[in-house]
Amino acid sequence: MSMTAVRSITDAARKREIAREILETLTDWFENVEAREDYIQKSGEQVFFAAEKDGKTTGFLCLKETGKSTVELAVMGVLNGIHGQGTGKALVRAAKEYAAAAGYAFMQVKTVQSGYYEDYDRTNWFYRSVGFQELEVIPSLWGEENPCQIYVQSLKKDASLPDLIMSRRSYRGKYKPDRVPRQDLTTILEAGLAAPSGCNKQTTSLIAVDDEALLAAIRKEIDPPVAQTAPAMICVLTRRINAYRDRCFATQDYAAAIENMLLTIAALGYQSCWYEGHITDADRIGDRIAKLIGVPDEYELVCILPVGIAEETPPMPKKLPFGERAWLNGFGKREG
Ligand SMILES: Cc1cc2nc3c(=O)[nH]c(=O)nc-3n(C[C@H](O)[C@H](O)[C@H](O)COP(=O)(O)O)c2cc1C
């Protein structure tokens, strides 16, 4: 399969030509001719990226500076029929790389708030999936029927990983029905497989499930019910292979894989929960799920991770104070 390439375009006339070519096909979002023409004209003066596949332009994205530290994703469009296949993500990735290298600290984007129009709900979902977080809704900017949702994200890479780690939570609430694109599931699986493993034995294997019938069959096995509304699920499998002599690190291996996946799930704008106790207790729910998805006997299904967009905000669990669990230069020492 050929890859999407993203190029920076500098010629103003070519920028407008591409913007027109794409936006005129996207009438669900760019129906108003006057507004569309405005986007096309302005695109000629903006930082412009075009996506190409098999020699055909498939999408574009424009950036404009809105403050010394902030750049705005002014407009983007991807041809109908290839949404959810990674073109938008490739464009945003290129834009973020450019903006971070140019010294901007934040990227913002505006769209119509979720809950008003199905097409814009998908746009909101897309922006969250590429790292944007809700900043503010301004109801008056585009009129009452189109409340303007402003999203923002930090472009400082080193600041965002600790933030992400600190903000990850176990989510046990309801999920929205939005499907998780295969590309995101693949990214999550790749993150799991990238984890360290004792003696590099790679004892962990993973199965993503997004087939509705299969999910329904799995949900039936989970009693008491959890993760019943998740549109996708990752099943974590382990093989008890010794790393050396009689030392088996399979548990540590899959724990590392799970944490990598939980963080990647959070980074992509989804929620999850590490369900292990629930499915490996005496009632052996995990074994029954394993049968449904054809797992061979030498593997054990040890954990499920639901994946989806949360309907609610995950609660913050009580954690012991830092000073009761972590010290400096000696057990119980607070100072160096
Ligand atoms: C090995 C392991 C097994 C877990 N099993 C379950 C489970 O079966 N059900 C559940 O609701 N949460 C389960 N969790 C999630 C923990 O309850 C959760 O991580 C903990 O309460 C702290 O919350 P936090 O993840 O939001 O920091 C498990 C976590 C780990 C590490």
Q: How many CB atoms lie within 10 A of CB 186?
A: 12
Ligand 1 atom 20, closest CA: 170
If asked whether residues 197 and 238 sit together in one domain, one would say yes
- Residue 9 belongs to a domain with what CATH number? 3.40.630.30
Residues in the ligand 1 pocket, defined by CB under 6 Å:
169-170, 172, 273-278, 317
Point out the ligand 1 atom lying closest to the alpha carbon of residue 169.
26
Domain boundary among 98, 127, 159: 159
If asked whether residues 126 and 184 sit together in one domain, one would say no
If asked whether residues 149 and 228 sit together in one domain, one would say no
* Alpha helix ranges (H) inside 205-328: 212-221, 250-267, 277-280, 285-292, 322-325
pLDDT digits (tens), the chain, 336 positions: 467 899 999 999 999 999 999 999 998 889 899 999 999 999 999 999 999 999 999 999 999 999 999 999 999 999 998 887 889 999 998 999 899 889 999 999 999 999 999 999 999 999 998 889 999 999 999 998 999 999 999 987 655 788 889 889 999 999 998 889 898 899 999 999 999 999 999 999 999 999 999 999 999 999 999 999 999 999 999 999 999 999 999 999 999 999 999 999 998 889 999 999 999 999 999 999 999 999 999 999 999 999 999 998 888 899 998 989 999 999 999 876
The pLDDT value given to residue 302: 98
If asked whether residues 21 and 85 sit together in one domain, one would say yes
Interval between CA 170 and ligand 1 midpoint (Å): 7
**70 assigned to some structural domain:** yes
Residue 306 falls in which region: left (phi positive, over 0), alpha (psi -120 to 50) or beta: beta
Distance CA 302, CA 290 (A): 9
Question: Contact at 8 Å (CB) between 164 and 263?
Answer: yes
Ligand 1 atom 19, closest CA: 170
If asked whether residues 154 and 28 sit together in one domain, one would say yes
Among residues 213, 257, 219, which one has the least CA distance to residue 237?
A: 257
Q: DSSP per residue over 72-117, as a string?
A: EEEEEEE-TT-TTSSHHHHHHHHHHHHHHHTT--EEEEEEEPTTS-
Does the model's pTM come out above 0.75? no
**137 assigned to some structural domain:** yes
The pLDDT value given to residue 6: 94
Question: Contact at 8 Å (CB) between 81 and 121?
Answer: no
If asked whether residues 81 and 222 sit together in one domain, one would say no
**43 assigned to some structural domain:** yes
Among residues 131, 135, 89, 91, which one has the least CA distance to residue 269?
A: 131
**315 assigned to some structural domain:** no
Ligand 1 atom 30, closest CA: 274
Point out the ligand 1 atom lying closest to the alpha carbon of residue 316.
26
The pLDDT value given to residue 161: 87
Pairing of strands 204-209, 133-138: unpaired
**329 assigned to some structural domain:** no
If asked whether residues 31 and 109 sit together in one domain, one would say yes
- Residue 195 belongs to a domain with what CATH number? 3.40.109.10
Determine the structural domain holding residue 298 and report its residue range: 166-307
If asked whether residues 29 and 146 sit together in one domain, one would say yes
Number of domains in the chain: 2
